[in-house]
């Protein structure tokens, strides 16, 4: 027996502006019931002595400290470019001349 009725699914679909066929409403009522039951089972297991986690493995910051450094000069920035002109990157034109 589904804890979510077909009418509740239709109401949520209406709020989301999703047009569902009667067959889709019946199918989604069952699928959403499985999701609700799964969340309820997880809620039963969660206890105050078990800390909430967002990732199964410990995460650490692997980035270097954010220390300001001297920026590239214009010549250094353009040195790796395939083409440049008047101190700017030269790229193929993609729009018509206007």
- Structural domain contains residue 15: yes
pLDDT of residue 27: 93
pLDDT of residue 1: 43
CATH number at residue 16: 1.10.20
- Structural domain contains residue 17: yes
pLDDT of residue 98: 61
Mean pLDDT by 10 residues, the chain (98 residues): 80 94 92 89 78 80 88 94 93 80
- Structural domain contains residue 96: no
Range of the domain at 22: 6-45
Give the chain's domain count.
1
- Structural domain contains residue 23: yes
- Structural domain contains residue 70: no
Q: Long-range contacts: 33-36, Cβ < 8 Å, 24+?
A: 33/2, 33/3, 33/4, 36/3, 36/4
């Amino acid at each position: 027996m589904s804890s979510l009725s077909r009418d509740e699914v239709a109401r949520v679909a209406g709020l989301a502006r999703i047009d569902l066929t009667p067959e889709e409403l019946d199918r989604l009522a069952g699928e959403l019931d499985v999701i609700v039951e799964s969340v309820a089972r997880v809620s039963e297991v969660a206890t105050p002595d078990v800390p909430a986690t967002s990732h199964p493995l410990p995460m650490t910051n692997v980035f270097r400290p954010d220390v300001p450094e001297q920026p590239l000069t214009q010549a250094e920035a353009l040195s790796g470019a395939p083409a440049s002109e008047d101190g700017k990157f030269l790229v193929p034109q993609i729009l018509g001349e206007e």
